[in-house]
Structure 1
């Protein structure tokens, strides 16, 4: 039987989709290789790489399976079973990614997905059994991933990261819709030939998958979702080394000599500047598990002490410095030494870091 143009196109699109997935997998695993040894949690990146790798294998299986279906009018059970089980492996990657970021589920859904995969391998013997088992269990996993995205949007993210996660959420919804268009039961309900549905599905999945992968590849580290948990202390320092304002993000705050600390921070900045003979000011001090990020203004220097250097902190520090110097401009020009006048800065810190 000779394949028609639509059948041939759908098979080529399966191959294209698999190639896109494998390319994204390579990108994620290269990111892991580049980041290894930096102290960044690589688990979420590995989960995404695991997902796109096995998702690509799914479409390799489906491409062959549809070829047999178009050419010989039958679906080899081993090929069908492999494709479904690879879908479970792909879902394990996304669920692991979600649970790593949430951090409160003790990987319960990851173990659930692994259990489903094991059951599918050893306890389903016909295409009908595997299809029925998949239709029962997969919606649970997909719903968990959907709820995870909503949790990221509501609790874990703010500002620019929230915008990116909202785009990822919309992409995920589109991805699900297009993916479902290639399910046999759904294709049978549509008013056009099944191969047309496969073509529309593949094009939509390619677009949403690539865009989704691009969004997540932009993140330097997925600990940015919990950037508030990485904050320790913030100092706003006068040119003479006096602490104008101090804010602690940790509860176990101890009595400290704030002026001694701020003088030490500015002293480190000055000494290192002299040693390296650079005209550029020091921006970051990396002391293993503690990072100090500096932001310089006309009247002040801000030092943010964190447990990790995240890209999200830099624009926040700049905005805080600009607003602080604007709010206290008249005081800073002729400062008399009274630090209580800067107490309203608490509201500024809460605005940018709260």
Structure 2
């Protein structure tokens, strides 16, 4: 975006309005992403997108200054050099957090982005190469990283709605890339003028809206390792008496009640006591953070089920809710006036396996 658009040009005001809108939209969506991450601190890809969008909102501001208000070639070149630097920094921030999310220990793409960033800083003082070339290379590696993320995501996700979100995300990214190319000098010069830039801006707005609307619904990759996160499931009647307890993973292998020790250390004598306190209160607690372990509670009509896990995951919350509804539907007659007879729940093991074994 290096073409100066002078006063009096018929495209000046429409383009300025559209690109200012694009800048504001980019910044707002970036803030939404960052705030979403700060609430959960569980999906670093959300933080990656937030940082990238905030960085490119600054890039758009600099583009506007360079293309509409900078009247000397040297000044415009300097402003654009800074914009390229910030854009590549956004790509580096995105790469680092995405690789952190998908657990790439070498941070291969982050190191590449960092080398591009270092080169651009050096290039500002010693002109070696047109910075737009480095920016294009950055976008190429950015695309490769996004493809890797999407491939890894779609190979693991069991949810159709999540797959649809990811594929739609791809469409949004394509629109962003095509739109960004449409506002470049070569596109404007080759395809007949500034109307190409107008079209490119609209494509970027559409792609950004599509990416943001759908990516918010894409969960962390940690959701797909949910089976390894579960430790203990407690099924407790509303009278405070435990119906059953199931151990998973290391808890099942060790045969030791290590979780209760952790709860005791924190002042929670047992899960049953916690439930008893909840029964006396009008407010229903659905989550307890106890450092290394998390307690997810699901309140039914007759049961309060407690899932002890390493992380509080959306998929675990959904499974716990479904499990509670299934048990209360199947054993409703037994649970209404339960007398403590555990033999009534002979199919409970099968229901637990169906819901909590990967």
TM-score when scaled to structure 1? Answer: 0.77
Partner of residue 265 from structure 1, selected from 271, 277, 282 = 271
Give structure 2 stretches of 5+ with no counterpart: 1-5, 262-268
Contact between 1:297 and 1:322, CA under 8 Å: does it hold in 2? yes
Cross-structure match for 1:343: 349
Q: Is residue 11 from structure 1 mapped to residue 16 from structure 2 by the alignment? A: yes
Contact between 1:41 and 1:223, CA under 8 Å: does it hold in 2? no
Give structure 1 stretches of 5+ with no counterpart: none
Other structure's SS at 1:294 match: strand
- Post-superposition offset of 1:68: 6.5
Contact between 1:10 and 1:199, CA under 8 Å: does it hold in 2? yes
- Post-superposition offset of 1:279: 2.9
Please list, as runs of the form range in 1=range in 2, the aligned pairs for 1:170-319 lying within 5 A after superposition.
170-190=171-191, 193-216=192-215, 222=220, 225=223, 228=226, 229-238=228-237, 241-244=241-244, 246-250=246-250, 253-256=253-256, 264-274=270-280, 278-319=281-322
Cross-structure match for 1:320: 323
Change beyond 3 A, Cα 1:296–1:30: closer
Matches of 1:169 and 1:15 in 2, distance apart? Answer: 25
Deviations 1:214-249 (A, max 9, x none): 555678x85764561543222334567344362514
Matches of 1:137 and 1:83 in 2, distance apart? Answer: 14
- Post-superposition offset of 1:340: 5.1
Q: Over the residues paired in the alignment, what is the CA RMSD in angstroms?
A: 3.9
Contact between 1:81 and 1:127, CA under 8 Å: does it hold in 2? no
Matches of 2:284 and 2:57 in 1, distance apart? Answer: 47
Q: How many residues align?
A: 339
Other structure's SS at 2:11 match: helix
Other structure's SS at 1:232 match: strand
Matches of 2:282 and 2:55 in 1, distance apart? Answer: 50
- Post-superposition offset of 1:74: 9.3
Deviations 1:248-286 (A, max 9, x none): 14476322579x99x942332113443xxx234443333
Other structure's SS at 1:309 match: coil
Cross-structure match for 1:146: 147
Cross-structure match for 1:135: 136
